[in-house]
Structure 1
Amino acid sequence: MSRLYYRPIAMTDAARPAGALPLAGGWCWFDRVEVLARDGARGIIAAADLPADVAQRLSGPRAALAGLDFTVPRIMGILNVTPDSFSDGGRFDRPGAALAQARALLAAGADILDIGGESTRPGAATVPVADEIARTAPVIAALREAGHRAPVSIDTRKADVARAALAAGADLVNDVAAMGYDPLMAGLLAETGAPVCLMHTQGTPEVMQNDPHYDDVLLDVYDHLADRIAVAEAAGIDRARIVVDPGIGFGKTVQHNLALVRGLSLFHGLGCVVLLGLSRKRFIGTIGGAEAADARLPGTLALTQIGLAQGVQIHRVHDVAEIAQGLALWRAVIEGYGA
């Protein structure tokens, strides 16, 4: 018999029926679940008919990470201190510009900063460890020396880079390779106790967009993340310290990306905080007719709201002020402004 997967049908309506379950302890609820399998969908069941362990994993509140609780959605501001990132490469690769941008992102409403010193755009080459450390650790240290206490994430695949960033004051490691690139990463995270974001990708940045293929992209990505969580737990990393990211745009076609966005609520079944990183991605421009990366804000905001409606807790974006405004309006409608 095929393995079963449970996708909660997320709702935010104020008319909430008795017996509905909270989705990941957050702002969404569900009373129905779509049952999926690799040999075809099995239909819709009532949440009350879920296996007890599945219901607990889907509905239980997520632990706080890096000083943030996830009963409300959070904005992760992107700070690329690289010369070649797809959207803002070269703009913030000088220390003064990086520090100024970090301050601007925090002032605009970022709950956490994600600082990266290696581009992971399609076709990007690997950056030497020493160069990546030189780009990132001084910026993190400068933020801490300036008195900024907001959580900081280091966007890296490499254990030595992560170690240097954590020593400089970072709080979380965002590993686009889900600890599959550097064999020392899991041990470092177990040793330090730092939370980690495990992202799905198919292939390295150099080749990931050459010919992405999946049997069922939603279930394949889910299974990969479940496997990586198991590796993390075996290394001594508690599930409560893990964030998962389906990796929009990393080894995916337009149709793959859309299928993942449509099915985002499935990933709550992993029992972890979910991160969505689709800001300014190419498929937004392909569908929305925006060739330039910095012209893809409207599409980014539209997809962010779809993520919000499925209970996604962390939204990794470039345009923090604009997304924060959209989030404030979305929450005002859902929660009842001034009520």
Structure 2
Amino acid sequence: MTPGTWLTGAGRIDLAGPFPMGILNVTPDSFSDGGRFQDPGAALAQARSLADQGARMLDVGAESTRPGARPVGPAEEWARLEPVLALLRTHLPELPVSLDTRHPEVAARGLRAGVAVINDVTGFRDPALLHVAVNGGCGLIAMRSRLEGDALVMPPYGGGEHRDAAAAIAELVEVRDRVLAAGVAPDRILLDPGFGFGTTFLEDLALWNALPQLPEALDWPAAGFCIGISRKRFLSWKAGVPAMPVLERDPLAARLHREAEGLGYRVFRTHAVTVPRIRPALPEDAPALAHVQVASWRATYRGILPNPILEALSEPGREAAFLEAMASAPPAHRFWVLEARGAVQGFAVAGPCREPGVDPARLGEVHAIYLLPEAWGQGLGKALLDRATEALRADGFREAALWVLERNGHARRFYEVNGWRPWGQPRNAWMDGIALREVAYRLALEPPLPEL
């Protein structure tokens, strides 16, 4: 099997790039957001938010699978789902829906209501559910899990002595073979390793570390898996902070999603979609830009600049400066904001170079790139940098330049990894009577500039 696409009830989906599935829980007892979206109107609002963040499919579930959750019967599950699915079909008809259920009656009703995928956390052990999926013309997400009777096994997460992934991989092989034996075409199937479902942290960690070998072990392409780690205990335990609140785990998930993406994995179930949206900045963004810049300066320059200077940074002062700059900037100066998880995470500014003695029609400059500290390490800075340099190239500049504090090693490594090279001579910038040494970098957009 070597699919670059996934065949679902909504058609064939291209998996050449990341495919985030936004999780929409319509339950009162979900571990991550229990009760927040049980009301159909609230569920629709959250679906819109996930779509705006970049979700390419919604995964809707009405039965919680957290440890100790009360089982929900098919009638109650459908009563929760029916009004939400109707609203999604009316207001977001272009967004495919995956239905997270283990009940054949609910799956059949969902398919009649237009869902494109059936996602079963029990790996289609129920022959009736597998029959519905096989004949429903839908996509399937088949997850590895451990059951005792009809109940999911959820051992104490910190316990256990299993330190390899062999058992979980063997269980995933059983899931694969079961669905294939039923006659489902491979390009309709995504396999979910089932992080946290009957596994301890040590097993989950071993399973994560086995991701590079998992496609070969199952004879299944990386793009044919669905990774579901969003907000799970695995994230906080891996970070060494087991008690980390659920909603603070989103940046950890984003970093691991990028790690898996580098291995060829494409489909990620997530509560907070991290696909960034970059758009031109508006005057009403000024408070958010000020917050980003002050937070970034305080995190980046702690130990480089005196603490009194960092603590004296004023968001209202920066807000006023941004408003003035956006109002007075010539057309060649561009301001962008980057939104992820429904909020402004960073910004960039680019335009003609301000350095004396250079041709401003030939040399452009990335004047600023800032990200909130919690957004670091997720590829968002590169997305902003790429947008800024693309705009400079489109405006006819043949070279791009930027300046960065000499002692800002993190930023310098970031620029160097992305192809920027040291250029010219250092200069001093002054801040509250303190000389700050800056170094220049350049990036050739066309033939290179001569040295300054």
TM-score bin (small chain): 0.7 to 0.9
Paired position in structure 2 for 1:95:
40
Larger radius of gyration: 2
Change (3 A) 1:122 1:332: same
The letter for the 2-side match of 1:314 is V
Match of 2:64 in 1: 119
Q: Report the equivalent of 2:154.
A: 208
Kindly indicate whether the alpha-carbon contact (under 8 Å) linking 1:124 and 1:206 is maintained by their aligned counterparts in 2: no
Q: TM-score, length-normalised on structure 2?
A: 0.57
| Aligned residue-pair number | 280
- Match 1:225 to one of 169, 172, 192: 172
Match of 2:137 in 1: 193
For 1:63, the equivalent position in structure 2 comes to 5
> Structure 1 residues 206, 141: closer, same or farther in 2, change over 3 A?
same
Counterpart Cα distance in 1 of 2:37 and 2:258:
28
Please list, as runs of the form range in 1=range in 2, the aligned pairs for 1:239-254 lying within 5 A after superposition: 239-254=186-201
**Counterpart for residue 369 of structure 2:** none
Shift of 1:126: 1.2
Q: For structure 1, list consecutive stretches of 5 or more residues without a partner in the other structure.
A: 1-56
Runs of 4 or more consecutive aligned structure 1 residues displaced over 6 Å after TM superposition:
211-216, 330-334
1:155/1:176 contact within 8 Å kept: yes
**1:183 corresponds to:** 127
Matching residue of 2:269: 316
Instruction: Tell me the CA shift for residue 287 of structure 1.
Output: 4.0
Larger displacement relative to structure 2 (156-165 or 213-222): 213-222
CA contact (8 A) 1:277 1:315 kept: yes
Which is strand-richer, 1 or 2?
A: 2
Which residue is equivalent to 1:52?
Answer: none
Aligned partner of 1:107: which letter? D
- Tell me, yes or no, if the aligned pair for 1:77 and 1:111 is still in contact at 8 Å: yes
Change (3 A) 1:242 1:333: farther
Q: Secondary structure of 1:244's partner?
A: strand
Q: Does 1:78 align with 2:31?
A: no
The 8 Å contact of residues 97 and 117 in structure 2, kept in 1 or not, is answered as yes
Q: Deviations over 1:215-238 (max 9, x none)?
A: 674232222222222221222211
**Deviation digits for residues 179-227 of structure 1 (CA, Å, limit 9, x no counterpart):** 12x3301111111121111111123665322488686742322222222
Q: Is the 8 A contact 1:74 1:313 kept in 2?
A: yes
Asked if residue 293 in structure 1 is aligned to residue 242 in structure 2, the reply is: no
Sequence identity, in percent? Answer: 38
Alpha-carbon deviation of 1:332? Answer: 8.3
SS of the counterpart of 1:184? helix
Alignment of 1:29-178 (within 5 A): 57=1, 60-66=2-8, 67=11, 68-178=13-123
CA distance in 1, matches of 2:103, 2:162: 30
Q: Give me the whole-angstrom Cα distance separating, in 1, the residues matched to 2:206 and 2:384.
A: 28
AA in 2 matched with 1:268? P
**Following the alignment from structure 1 to structure 2, what is the Cα–Cα distance between the partners of residues 332 and 268?**
32
Give, in whole Å, the separation in 1 of the partners of 2:275 and 2:246.
15
Q: Using a 3 Å threshold, how does the CA distance of structure 1 residues 92 and 306 change in structure 2: closer, same or farther?
A: same
- For residue 33 of structure 1, what is the aligned residue in structure 2? none
AA of the residue aligned to 2:23: I
Q: Indicate the SS of the match to 1:320.
A: coil
Of 83-92 and 205-214, deviating more is: 205-214
Q: TM-score, normalised by structure 1?
A: 0.75
- Which has the higher relative contact order, 1 or 2, with Cα contacts under 8 A spaced 6 or more apart? 1
- 1:302 corresponds to: 255
Q: Please state whether the residue corresponding to 1:243 is helix, strand or coil.
A: strand
- Whether the 8 Å CA contact 2:163–2:202 is kept in 1: the answer is no
Q: Does 1:264 align with 2:211?
A: yes
Report SS of the residue matched to 1:301: helix
Stretches of structure 2 lacking an aligned partner (at least 5 in a row): 278-339, 341-377, 391-444, 446-452
SS at match of 2:147: coil
Question: In structure 2, what is the equivalent of residue 47 of structure 1?
Answer: none
Secondary structure of 1:185's aligned partner: helix
Question: What is the one-letter code of the residue matched to 2:69?
Answer: A
